[in-house]
Amino acid sequence: MTDQATTRDWQSHPPYLYPEYRSTPLRAPTRPLIPIRHRLSETTGPVYGHEAVGPLDADLTKNARRNGEPLGERIVVTGRLLDEEGRPLRNTLVEVWQANAAGRYVHLVDQHDAPLDPNFLGAGRCVTDEEGRYRFYTIKPGAYPWGNHPNAWRPLHIHFSLLGPTIASRLVTQMYFPGDPLLDFDPIYQGTPENARERLISRFELGVTEPDFALGYVFDIVLRGRGETPFENRS
C-alpha cells in the first residue's frame, strides 16, 4: 500500500498564511507544525451506513422542494474521484454545499441582501460508483459579496467535502466555473499556487449536458500525490 503520509504535494495547496485573505492571519499557525506519525485511526477510513444516503440526496433540484421548482439555471456536475496513482476511489462519500442562484446560503450567518429560495437547500451527497464517478443535479450558484476587501465578491463556486479511504486523505475544496471574471480578484482562488489553480476549475462538457434540461460540467478530484486537487485554504 502506498504510504499516503508521504505523497501529499504540499506545493499544490494554499499557504496557511495568505495576507490578502484577511482571516488567515487570525487562524494560521504561528509556530512550525509538528509531524505526528499516523496510527490506525488515521490510516483506516471512516465508517458510515449506506442507508444514510437517500435517493434524492444527489439531486439538489428536488431534495428541498416545498411548492415548486428551485429558481435558477439547472446544471449537472459530475467527475471521477481518484487516488494518487490515478485509480478510481469506489464507494466514497462526496458531499457538496453552495449558495442559491441569487448568491445566498441557507445559514443564519449569511445576511446577504438576496432572496432565499424556499425550494432549494443547497446541500447534497452521494457515493462514488465502481469507476469512482459521482454525479449531482443542482442549480448554478450566484456570486455574493463578502467583507474581505472593498467591493469583494466571491466567484461562482460549489464546496466539496471528501472523506476518501482514510482520514489522512480528507479533502475539502471548491469547484469554480470556467470563464468567471471574478477569479482574477478572489484571494481564496489566487492564494492557490499558480501551477495548481486550473485544477479547481470545472470544464463544460456538451456530452454531459442533458438536452432541454441542464448544462453539464466535469470536475475530477485527485486526493493525493502529483496532480492532487488543492485543499480549501488550509488555515
Please identify every residue annotated as catalytic: 105, 144, 154, 157, 159
Q: At 190, which helix (H) or strand (E)?
A: helix 187-190
> Is the C-alpha dihedral spanning 101, 106, 110, 115 positive or negative?
positive
Give the number of residues written for the chain.
Answer: 235
Residue type at 189?
Answer: Y
- Alpha carbon of 44 to those of 10, 23, 39, 86: distances in Å? 22, 32, 9, 20
Terminal-to-terminal C-alpha distance of the chain: 29
